[in-house]
Amino acid sequence: MASILVSGCELPGYLTLIADRKKIKAAATETLEEYLVTNRFGFAPDRIGVIDPIHHSINHGHKANVKCLYYNFESSVKTSKVVSKEKLLQYDFLNTAGLRVPIVKKKVADILKEYCGEKIQVIDVVITLKSGEEITDYKAINVINRVEAFTWEGSIKGMRYEEYSADFKEYLAKGLSWVPEKTRIQLEKEKRTRFEKYGYPNISTMQEIAFKKEVIDREVICKDSITDEPVIMIGGELATELKKHKFKGVGFFSAYIIHKIV
């Protein structure tokens, strides 16, 4: 059945990977100046760094302009336990913080490439242990297939939905004056169309967010373009294939935190 895929599920906290923003910034294939020519995500130019488009892309389902993602354990949960290569390699899926994307073994990446094709971006990963040893046995899976999976059927508004919706409507009315004209026209059109059709559902405004099972099954793997949630959803066929291998560190859920498939 269609599932929400959770990477790093039930791993101990001290194994959580922390994004190394400095190294990721150096691995970017797009400069800040190049990004701002279009400002395709509509960031305020005075509050944006090179890593922000990468972070936004990976969270919300766009191709990320970066050669490699770097992680370490320097800011991880304070513990006396030392992360060894042998301990880490026990898991096929890892948990991350700071830049949330599934980090998987090559054998998992190969299955995802076979089933998902151009719907995912596979990115090299370097994990640095506290000893300085580097691990390159994993890949990052950036899901770049954005579809309209959200449905109001089964979704529940949060207490501040109306307040936040009114604020967003006012934001739309003012327009994105700081964005170059060509991009601005398209961005404003997309945002207004989405607001008129679906309202303003997202993690800040909703108590529960539902996604359509039939859409997920058809797409194999996807993220939702309406709520812009970083949730990864996979169809039943892919879920069955992954479960068959009994990979360690991954969970498959019909409902997870405030998200559910209906």
How far is it, in rounded angstroms, from Cα 245 to Cα 222?
21
Predicted confidence band of residue 79 (pLDDT cuts 50, 70, 90): low
| CB-CB contact of 143 with 216 (8 Å) | no
Q: How confident is the model at residue 74 (pLDDT cuts 50, 70, 90)?
A: low
158 has a pLDDT exceeding 50: yes
- Residue 84's pLDDT is what? 86
DSSP secondary structure code for residue 28 in this structure: B
pLDDT at 6 over 50: yes
Q: Which whole number is the average pLDDT over 39-51? A: 93
| Rounded Cα gap, residues 58 and 64, in angstroms | 6
> Can you tell me the mean pLDDT for 27-52?
94
Whole-angstrom distance, CA of residue 185 vs CA of residue 182:
6
Task: Give the tens place of pLDDT for each residue, 185-231.
Answer: 999 999 999 999 999 999 999 999 999 999 999 999 999 999 999 99
Instruction: Please give the pLDDT value at position 82.
Output: 73
Provide the strand spans (E) within 20-128: 68-72, 93-94, 96-97, 103-105, 120-128
Q: Is residue 76 predicted with pLDDT exceeding 50? A: no
- pLDDT of residue 77 exceeding 70: no
Q: Is the pLDDT of residue 47 over 80?
A: yes
The per-residue pLDDT of the chain, averaged, comes to: 94
Q: What is the enclosing helix (H) or strand (E) of 155?
A: strand 150-157
CA dihedral sign, ordered 137, 234, 241, 115? negative
Question: Are 224 and 146 in contact, with CB atoms under 8 Å apart?
Answer: yes
CA distance 215 to 145: 12
What is the pLDDT averaged over residues 98-105?
A: 92
Query: Under 8 Å CB-to-CB from 215, ≥6 apart: which residues?
Result: 147, 148, 149, 222
Q: How far apart are CA 156 and CA 213, in angstroms?
A: 17
Instruction: Work out the end-to-end distance of the chain between its first and last CA atoms, rounded to an integer number of angstroms.
Output: 11
